[in-house]
Amino acid sequence: MNPKPSSSRFNALIKIPTPIALCIGVICGLLISNFFSAPSIPSWPYTHIPSRTPLRNKVPLPTHQQRERVFNLLTSLSPHYTKECTRQSQPLYVQQAQERYAPLKGYQSPNHGFWLSALGLSPSPQSPYQASTSDVTAKPHKYFFAINLYNSFDVIPDLFATLFKVASILGYQNVYVSIYENGSTDQTKALLRIFDALTRSVGMRVTIRTSMRTRGAFVHRIEYLAEVRNAAFVPLHELRESNNEIFDTIIFMNDILPCVDDLLELIWQSRRNSAGITCAADYMYHDDLGAPVFYDNWVARDINGTALENAPFNAIFHHPPSAHAWQAHLPVQVQSCWNGVAILDPAPFYSPPHVKFRMAKIVQGECSASECSLICNDYWERGYGRIMMVPRVKLAYDRKVFDIIHPKRRNLEKIRGYSRLGGLPDNPRTDPQDRAWFGPHDRLFTEEEGEPIDFVPGPSHVWCWGWDGAGDLDGPDVDPIWEPMANRSRLADAILVKHNRSMIL
C-alpha cells in the first residue's frame, strides 16, 4: 500500500492558516455547546429592572382562579384590621362607593365578579363594576406607587394587602410598585422578600430595592431624606428610558395603615380636580389630650401660608373658610401638604426643568424646610399649584390610632337615647349616627364632596420653621419666618389645568 495520498491530505490540513483554524474551532465549540446545553428557563413577563431587549419564553400570566387563591392568602396576612375597614358599612355607603369608584376600574371583569369583592363591598347584579374597561375609561390610566420603608415589619402585611386590593381594581397591568427600604434593624428586609415573590405571582409589577445605608451623624437630615425618596423614583425614569412607559398618576406612600377606599378616594379626588398634589390627613396619639391629633404640621400649610395645628379634627385650620369646609368633610385647597399619602401629577417629574426631592438652597437664603414642603413649592413654581387635602381620608401609623379612627358604626339612638324625628336612616344629612370626626368609611358621601375645588393662586409668604443643622437633632433649630414665595406661584397661571387627568363621569 502506498501511504502517500493519506499523508499528503494530512499535510494539507496542517498548512491551514492559523486564523482560519481558530474560526473553525470556535464554530465547532459553539455547535457542541448548543447541542449539550440545558433548555432555557422561562421568565416572568415583568422583571425587577426593565431590559432593553424583549423577553423570550415568557410564563403565561396566572388565571383569575390562580390569582384569587394567592390574593386570598395575601389579603389575610394582616395583624391589624385594614382588611375589615368596610366590615359594617351601611348599604347606601356600599352603593355610593361602587358608583363613585367605578370610573377607576381598569380590568375586564371575570364571570364570578371576584375583583369587586377586593374592595370589601359585595357586588350587585347591576354594579357599574361589571361594565367593560372601554365603557368606563377612555384609555388605560397608569399608576406608579412609590413607597419608602424603614423598620416597617408591623405595617408591611397591611400595606401589601391594601396594595393588592387597590391594584386589582385599577388593573394589575396599569400598576407599578416601587419600594425602597434602607437601614432597617428588624425583619423588614426578610418580609419584603416574601411579599416580593407573592406579589409577582399574581402578575403585579414590583421593584423592591433594599440597602444597609443609614444616615450618618453629620449628614443633613433633609438631604438624606430627599435622597431616600428619590431612590423610590428610580424605576419611574428607568421605565420611560427603556420601555417608553409613561404613568399618569404617582401615589407616594409612607409606612401607614391605609384602607382600600382611602387610596381610591384620594385617587378619585386627584383625577376629579386634575390636582398637582392631593393629600390625606394623618394622625398621631396625643397623650395629654387622650385622643388623636393631626400629625404632619411641619409640612402642611393652608392657602394663606399658615401652618396647620397638631390638634383634633375640628381645630386644625386657622383659615376660617378652610376650617369650615374641613369640618364639613369637604376637600380643601392648601399651599402644601404630604400627610402619609400624596397623589402627585407626574408631569413635573417628566418635563424639564424636572422636579425632585431636595434640601433647601441655604446658601441662597432659602428657608430649610422639609423636602416635602420644598417639592410643593416647586410644583407651584412650575405651574402645578392645584394642591388639596381630603378630610375624609384619615390615616394612622400604628394600631392604637387606627382602632380609634376606624370604630364600629354607632347610632345616637343607642348610645345617647335619642329618638328619630323623621328623616331617612341612609340620608347623609339626617342619619342619626354618631358624627364624631372619625369613622370615615361609613360616612355617606354628600354632593358637595364631588364638586370640583375652585382653586386660587398661592400666598405671597409661607410660614417656615427651618432645620439648618445636621446630625441627630430633635427638630427644627432656627426661628420661624415668613418666607416670600416665587412670583409665579401668585399668578393665575399656577392653578390652570396643564395636564388633564380627569375621568369620564
Q: Give the pLDDT confidence score for residue 502 in this predicted structure.
A: 85
Spatial separation of the C-alpha atoms in residues 202 and 198, rounded to whole Å: 7
The pLDDT of residue 67: 72
In the block, cell 328619630 appears at 420
d(CA 455, CA 275): 10
Contact 106, 248 (CB under 8 A): no
Kindly list the distances between the CA atom of residue 235 and the CA atoms of 47, 49, 50, 145, in Å, as whole numbers in the listed order.
Answer: 11, 8, 8, 10
- What pLDDT shows up at residue 136? 39
Q: What is the pLDDT of residue 80?
A: 65
Model pLDDT, residue 317: 96
How far, in Å, are 12, 102, 306, 358, 364 from residue 479 at the CA level?
92, 48, 15, 21, 18
Q: How far apart are the first and last CA of the chain?
A: 98
Q: Counting beta carbons within 10 angstroms of the beta carbon of residue 419, is it exposed (0 to 12), middle (13 to 18) or buried (19 or more)?
A: exposed
pLDDT of residue 111: 45
Q: Residue 446 corresponds to which cell in the numbers above?
A: 354628600
Q: Give the span between the Cα atoms of 252 and 30, in whole angstroms.
A: 49
Question: Please, what are the averages of pLDDT over each run of 10 residues along the chain (505 residues)?
Answer: 46 57 60 47 33 42 73 68 72 86 79 45 36 46 96 90 90 94 93 87 89 84 94 96 95 93 96 97 94 94 97 92 92 97 97 94 93 97 97 92 78 52 55 54 84 96 91 81 94 94 72
CB atoms within 10 A of CB 118: 17
Locate all alpha helices (DSSP H) within 459-505, ordered by sequence.
Answer: none
CA 283 to chain centre: 18
Instruction: Give one DSSP letter per residue of 376-423, joined into a string.
Output: HHHHHHHT---EEEEEEEEEESSHHHHHHHSPPP-BHHHHS-----SS
Output the CA–CA distances (angstroms, integers) from residue 245 to 22, 271, 331, in the order listed.
45, 20, 31
pTM, whole model, 2 decimals?
0.81
Q: What are phi and psi of 334, to 5 degrees?
A: -135, 170
Among residues 354, 386, 422, the alpha carbon closest in space to that of 498 is found at 386
3 state SS of 285? strand
Which of 107, 348, 382 shows the shortest CA–CA distance to 236?
348
Distance CA 493, CA 50 (A): 37
Rounded Cα gap, residues 224 and 66, in angstroms: 41
Identify the sign of the CA torsion 88, 89, 91, 97.
negative
Phi-psi region of 436 (alpha: psi -120 to 50; beta: other; left: phi over 0): beta
Q: pLDDT at position 178, please?
A: 97
| CATH number, domain 64-495 | 3.90.550.10
Q: Where are the domains of the chain?
A: 64-495
The burial class, CB within 10 Å (0-12 / 13-18 / 19+), for 53 is exposed
Residue 114 to residue 71: CA distance in whole angstroms: 10
Residue 356 contacts residue 382 (beta carbons within 8 Å): no
- pLDDT recorded at residue 472: 64
214: which residues sit within 8 A by CB, 6+ positions away?
Answer: 182, 183
Instruction: Judge contact between 104 and 170, C-beta under 8 A.
Output: yes
Measure the CA–CA gap between 164 and 115, rounded to whole angstroms.
11
